[in-house]
Structure 1
Amino acid sequence: MRRLFETRPGDDGLPGAERRLAVLALILGTLMAVVDTTMVNIALPSIAADLEVPASRAVWVTNLFQISCAAFLLVFAALSELVSRRRIYVAGVGVFTLASLGAALATSLETLLVFRALQGLGAAATLSIGPSLYRSIFPSRLLGSALGLSAMVVAGGYAAGPAIGGVLLSVADWPWLFALHLPLGAAAVVLAWKALPREPGRRGGFDLVGALLSVAMLCGFFLAMDGAGHGMPAGELAAWLGMSVAAALLFLRRQRRAAYPLMPLAIFAERRFSLALAAQGTAFVGQGLAFVALSFLFQRDMGFTPLQTAWLFTPWPLAIMLVGPRAGRLADCVNPSLLASAGLLVLLVGLVLLARLDAEAGVTEVLWRMGLCGVGFGLFQPPNNRELMGCVPRERSANASGIMSTSRTVGQSLGVALVGAFLAMNAPVQATLWVGCAACGLALAASLARVPLAGAAQARARWRASSGDRQESTMAPQSSSRSPHEHSGRD
């Protein structure tokens, strides 16, 4: 951990002492958004009883937050180029914190849902640009280690959320789950404003039409995926999917013509980026599917209680917390695509072993398989994120960050929807898990395809370093053209 804050001659990013406060601001903002999702899930029955609403309506306390967050990831990533990432991040944390206060004071479901949607907007602003801020804070030689730290924070949040929610609900009412964010949010706003890098904004406009199409595309997709998992009528499901597809086609057409595109399509010309994105999306399909399918397997087929099931999931995020930072540190030294591929292979083996579990399996048999999956995912994610953020020019890092966050969220939602579709057809849970294995197999194929490309880029970077060129990123390829956007002014 200490090496993350050491400064060497020629380092880009912030000086070592300033990195600590900046990273703390990012950790606080990320933890609030991640812990909130899993923590509030625990409270849904209490919220439904207290507000006197059916459980089917209380579920929207979680759904609306997720839809609002996912739909605006690309929007805030693009907007950060115009007004600076520092301002977007501070505004995002501020909105999330104030909306948490509103949610804590809500006395009706309708009011609570309004503030949950605002919380989702705040979370989108922070999560969309988090990875690109790590690239600005840390020197290129430590990018993998920094993203490993980020993976550890996210995994820790997912692991701690249910426990924090359970402990709070045992001594207080559900509004205190939201009130918990107030001191953390206030500290994160102050730290972010003080410590995050000040950077120039660019002159020019914002692709408002593209933003509206992006929101329509993603809202339609997530509403359709949620409906598929909850028995939505076929006609309504087709309508949401149709809206999503139509908006997606118009969005892509708009991006080819817009002066300041929300998602520059030229970024996909870099094959390493496209293949790393494909690996990430399909890997998160597998993980999202496994998390939901295994809940049914453990409780319905194997007879474990909900509390026992929560403990059975613990090895997965704990293994990510242990392996992720080490994998990120290793990715700074060796081919990150090779590491990511090795992680996907371990994840695939773990999922195959889980799919082969029978109803008589004991706790130990479950725990080590879950831990194996966590080791694989921890070995995959930080090196893959390093590839995603390191193989594009710095001026495109905010766009890459938004695309990466959107791909992850879409993949998870698609995995959850597939479980719902299979359960609606009365398919065995094991059959659903085999679909997750297939998704991980596709991720592994995409990851292996970019191993030679990453190796060649790493060899070029080492040759440049040996020639004394310290200004070139150790992972970024040479760019033949600069961004068309001119920058001016100071934040």
Structure 2
Amino acid sequence: MSRLFETRPDDDGLPGPERRIAVLVLVLGTLMAVIDTTMINIALPSIARDLNVSASRAVWVLSLFQIVCAATLLLFASLSELLSRRRLYVAGLALFTLASLGAALSRSLETLLVFRALQGLGAAATLSIGPSLYRVIFPTRLLGAAMGVSALVVAGGYASGPTLGGLVLAVTDWPWLFAMHVPLGLLALSLALRALPAEPRRRGGFDMLGAALSATMLASFFLGLDALGHGAGVGKILMLLAASLVAGWLFLRRQRRASHPLLPLSLFDEPRFTLAVLVSGLAFVGQGLAFVALSFLYQQEMGLSPLQTAWLFTPWPLTIMFAAPLAGRLADRVNPAALSTSGLVLLLCGLMSLAMLADDAGVIDSLWRTALCGLGFGLFQAPNNREMMSSVPKARSANASGMMSTTRTIGQSLGVALVGLFLAAGLGSVQASLWLGCVALSGAVLISLRRIPLTSAPSRESERQCPSPHSD
């Protein structure tokens, strides 16, 4: 870990001491946003009871946060060029912290939902540009290791959220789940103002029409998936998905003509970036699908309790936390496309082994298969993120960062929705859903194999040619 903060005379990025503080800011901001999602799951029954609402209405405490966050990731990534990433990240932290205080003080569902929507906006502002800030903070020679840190933080957040939520609820009430963000947010804000690098702002306008079309496209898409997962009428689902398709078509047309596009389509002229996005989307479809399908497998078909199910899930994020930093460091030395492809192969093997798991399998038999999935995903994610970020000019890294976060969110949500659709339509057992995830991962492997010849191992020569991106 100390290697991440060593400074060489020819390094771009921040000096070592400033780098430590800036990384702590990103870690705190990411953890608050990620932990919030998984932690609030545990509190939904308590919220429904205390606010005297139905369980179906209480679910909106989680869904609204996710929909608002997902629908505005691209918007904030583009807006960061106009405002600067430092200003946007600080504003996002401040909004998330204030909204967390408002959510903790809420005494009605309507008030709570308003503050949850504001939390979603704050989280989107930080998550959309977080990966691109790693590229500004760290020298190019350590970009893979930095992406490993990012993957480690996300995995740690997802792993610790349910446990932390359970511990808090064991000693106090659900408002404290929101209140605990306030001191962390204030600490992150004070450090961000001190350590995040200043950047020049882009001159020019902002694509307001593109932003409206992007938000409509993504919000309609996620509302459609949410309706699908809750068994809404076919007409409503089709209307929402059709609105998403129409808005998406208009959005792409707008991006070709806009002088300052929200998502510069020239990013996809680079095959390495395009292939990395496709591979990432399919990988997250497989992971999102597996997480939901395994919950049904362990509890409904194997007869395990929720606590036992949580225990069987634990190796997945834990092995990601072990493998991601290692893979990130390796990606700075070897071909990152080849490394991430090998991780996808391991993930596919792990998911296939889970799909073949017998109903009377023992705990150890389940644990090693889940650990294999986590090991594969950990080896895949950081090198793939490095490919995505390093294949575009630094001036476009904020757009690439927003696309990375949006792809992850869409992939996971689509995987969850596919499980619901698969089971609701009676298309087979839970194992059949896991095989569907294997199909998605097989597609990811095939696409990833195509990009290996396009990518070479990072060289010191190319690292030294990258100018420093942070200047006033």
Range class of TM-score, shorter chain: over 0.9
TM-score with structure 1 setting the length = 0.94
How far 1:488 sits from its partner (Å)?
13
Deviations 1:4-24 (A, max 9, x none): 000011100000110000000
- Please say if residues 203 and 488 of structure 1, whose CA atoms lie closer than 8 Å, have aligned partners that are also in contact: no
Match of 2:434? Answer: 433
Equivalent residues of 1:338, 1:451 under 8 A apart = yes
Q: Aligned pair in 2 of structure 1 residues 489, 5: CA closer, same or farther (>3 Å)? A: closer
Residue of structure 1 equivalent to 2:465: 471
What whole-Å deviation, never above 9, does each CA across 1:67-108 have from its counterpart, x for those lacking one?
Answer: 000000000000000010001000001101100001101111
Amino acid at match of 2:435: W
1:257-276 aligned at under 5 Å gives the runs 257-276=257-276
SS in 2 for 1:201: coil
Structure 1 residue 335: Cα displacement: 0.2
**Cα distance in 1 between the residues matched to 2:6 and 2:395:** 25
- 1:470 Cα offset (Å): 2.1
User: Match of 2:162?
Assistant: 162
Describe the SS at the equivalent of 1:451: helix
Partner of 1:378: 378
| Deviating more after overlay: 360-369 vs 204-213 | 360-369
Pairing of 1:358-437 with structure 2 (within 5 A): 358-426=358-426, 427-437=428-438
Residue 84 (str. 1) matches residue 78 (str. 2): no
Residue 196 of structure 2: aligned partner: 196
Q: 1:452 and 2:466 equivalent?
A: no
Q: How many Å separate the matches in 1 of 2:329 and 2:471?
A: 35
Rounded Cα–Cα distance in structure 1 between residues aligned with 2:219 and 2:157: 25
Amino acid at match of 1:195: A
CA deviations 1:236-292 (Å, max 9, x no partner) are 001100110000000000000000000000000000000011000000000000000
1:336 aligns with 336
Aligned to 2:345, the other structure's residue is in SS state helix
Give SS of 2:117's match. helix
SS in 1 for 2:103: helix
SS in 1 for 2:445: helix
Separation of aligned partners in 2, 1:41 and 1:110: 18
Per-residue CA distance 1:337-375 (angstroms, 9 max, x = gap): 000000000000000000011211111111111100000
C-alpha separation in 2, matches of 1:287 and 1:435: 11
Matched residue type, 1:441: S
Unaligned runs of 5+ in 2: none
Structure 1 segment 3-402 matched on structure 2, within 5 A: 3-402=3-402
**Distance in 2 separating the partners of 1:281 and 1:264:** 19
Contact 1:10 1:471 in 2 (8 A): no
- Structure 1 residue 471, shift from structure 2 partner: 2.2
1:450 alignment partner, SS class: helix
Partner of 1:476: none
SS in 2 for 1:104: helix
Separation (CA, whole Å) in 2 of partners of 1:88 and 1:428: 46
Deviations 1:295-321 (A, max 9, x none): 000000000111111111100000000
Structure 1: unaligned runs, 5 residues or longer:
474-486
Deviations 1:435-458 (A, max 9, x none): 100111111111111000002xx4
Distance change in 2, residues 1:332/1:489 (3 Å) = closer
**Aligned counterparts of 2:312 and 2:113: Cα–Cα separation in 1:** 31
State the Cα distance separating 1:65 from its structure 2 match.
0.4
Give the TM-score normalised by the residue count of structure 2: 0.98
AA aligned to 1:9 is P
Distance 1:324 1:23 in 2: 16
Separation in 1 of the partners of 2:95 and 2:361? Answer: 46
Matched position secondary structure for 1:89 = helix
- Aligned amino acid, residue 275 of structure 1: L
Between the aligned partners of 1:489 and 1:391, the Cα distance in structure 2 is: 22
SS at match of 2:455: helix
Distance across 2 between alignment mates of 1:370 and 1:392? 34
Tell me the amino acid that sits aligned with residue 431 of structure 2.
Q
Amino acid at match of 2:247: A
CA contact (8 A) 2:328 2:383 kept: yes
Kept after mapping to 2: 8 A contact 1:45/1:55: yes
Shift, 1:489, TM fit:
9.8
Write the distance in 1 (CA, Å) between the matches of 2:193 and 2:243: 39
- Give the distance between the partners of 1:442 and 1:86, measured in 2 at CA: 37
Counterpart residue identity of residue 229, structure 1: G
Is 2:75–2:262's contact at 8 Å kept on the other side of the alignment? yes
> Using the alignment, how far apart are the partners of 1:194 and 1:268 within structure 2?
35
From the superposition, tell whether residues 188 and 360 of structure 1 become closer, same or farther in structure 2 (CA, over 3 Å): same
Partners of 1:422 and 1:113 in 2: CA distance: 30
C-alpha distance after superposition, 1:103-153 (max 9, x if no partner)? 101111111111111100000000000000000000000000011011111
Root-mean-square deviation over aligned CA pairs? 1.3
CA distance in 2: counterparts of 1:57 and 1:305, whole angstroms: 25
